[in-house]
Amino acid sequence: MNEKRAILIGLCILVLSGCASLPNFDRKSREVALVPSDPEIYKLRPMPRVGAGATVVPVDATSVEDFDTTTLSERNAAASVPVASAEQKLGITIASLGSPTETGFWAKTPLVTQNAKGHLVDPATGKSVQVDLIPIDGPKTAGSRVSLAAMRLLGVSLTGLPELEVWIDG
């Protein structure tokens, strides 16, 4: 019986001694640090899809201007929405800011079933912006995610949930 007890105690000591070598273990507070110690981990950004023509967001981007990589000519082109006779209003959606690392002018919305060209209108100001409409799963009443560049051009709050009209070009 003493032999089994000695083996059990030896195993416990072996297992517990391994706990002291855990990374980010602070022996004084006996808590594991929740923040990674390597600051490089925060510099990771999603890579653009091959052939998407997307501009890469700088690794050190910290401000809205850093994340919005659209040029003045791109903003001017997106702001001039042509009046088309075949355009159709799809509905009104509650918009939220999409991923700021995805560049360009786009809206991911359940109001379309396939990729299409269209535009968004802020009914409060009348401002509009041309966007690529990208389908997402969900009921038609679900909200939409809109690119940083499009929301800035519309002049809506980046942290708010503005109501926007969604139009598809014919």
Whether residue 24 lies inside any domain: the answer is no
In degrees, rounded to 5, the angle at the alpha carbon of residue 91 between the alpha carbons of residues 138 and 157 is 85
Whether residue 116 lies inside any domain: the answer is yes
Which helix (H) or strand (E) is 152 found in, with range?
helix 148-154
CATH number of the structural domain spanning residue 140:
2.40.40.10
Whether residue 23 lies inside any domain: the answer is no
* Phi, psi dihedral angles at 55 (to 5 degrees): -85, 140
Which helix (H) or strand (E) is 31 found in, with range?
strand 31-32
Whether residue 79 lies inside any domain: the answer is yes
CB atoms within 10 A of CB 151: 27
How many domains does the chain divide into?
Answer: 1
Check if the beta carbon of residue 93 is closer than 8 Å to that of residue 163: yes
**Model pLDDT, residue 23:** 53
Whether residue 16 lies inside any domain: the answer is no
User: What residues contact 125, with CB distance under 8 A and at least 6 apart?
Assistant: 154, 155
**Tens of pLDDT along 139-167?**
988 899 999 999 999 999 999 999 999 99
- Considering only CA atoms, give the Rg of the chain: 26
**Tens of pLDDT along 85-123?**
678 999 999 999 999 888 899 999 999 999 999 999 999
Whether residue 11 lies inside any domain: the answer is no
Whether residue 45 lies inside any domain: the answer is no
Pair type for strands 88-97 and 144-146: parallel
Residue-number span of the structural domain to which 109 is assigned: 64-168
Whether residue 6 lies inside any domain: the answer is no
